[in-house]
A = this chain, B = another copy of it.
Amino acid sequence: MNEGVEWVMHSCVNLSWIPGEAVTAKRLAAFYNLPTAYLNKQLQALTRAGILTSASGPKGGFQLARDPRDISLLDIVVAIDGPDEAFRCTEILKEGPGADAKADYTKVCVISQAMRAAELTYRRELAGRSIADLADEVVRRYPDAPGNTRNRFANL
């Protein structure tokens, strides 16, 4: 999995604590000492996916495009890592005996089905957790986190 997933999940949680204000890629990168240009690529992907909004020019930057309650971890994984599942069925049964050339073995093959079923539970789990969930949980454990975060961004 793309390391950018980790970066932008943290960035989205941080952005949820700075509502209504655009934060530049440079500052988001400086927060965790990440490579700016590369993080910017990931942020662009989130923008294309409708998770962030971006603005050019001075006072420009990125913000969450919607309520963090409506941004799931799956949304982010799909935006950064793409929609493909980890297990890719190459339909090797087509090379086996009694193969049906017209069959879609990605659907029919028992192994493919089992792997897809497992990935489905994974995705369901990720779909059930939102950026707001995570942010709330952080606040429960570390009440100062939002303040500390805003403070750090103010000094970048």
Option from B92, B114, B121, B149 in Cβ contact (under 8 Å) with A32: B92
Chain B residues contacting A142 (CB-CB under 8 Å) are: 98
Stretch at the interface among A2-10, A16-24, A41-49, A58-66: A2-10
Q: Which residue of B lies closest to A141 (CB)?
A: B110
A134 CB, min distance to chain B CBs, angstroms: 5
Are the CB atoms of B86 and A1 closer together than 8 Å?
yes
A50 CB, min distance to chain B CBs, angstroms: 21
Chain B residues contacting A55 (CB-CB under 8 Å) are: none
Q: Does A122 contact B (CB under 8 A)?
A: yes
Option from B6, B73, B93 in Cβ contact (under 8 Å) with A89: B6
Q: Does A137 contact B (CB under 8 A)?
A: yes
Q: How many copies make up the complex?
A: 2
B-contact 0/1 string along A51-91, CB 8 Å cutoff: 00000000000000000000001000000000000111110
Are the CB atoms of B152 and A115 closer together than 8 Å?
no
Chain B residues contacting A118 (CB-CB under 8 Å) are: 73, 122, 125-126, 129
A95/B5 contact (C-beta < 8 A), A73-B118, A125-B117, A134-B111 known = no
12 contacts between A and B (CB under 8 A): A6-B111, A10-B93, A31-B96, A33-B95, A73-B114, A98-B142, A110-B134, A111-B134, A114-B134, A118-B122, A119-B122, A121-B121
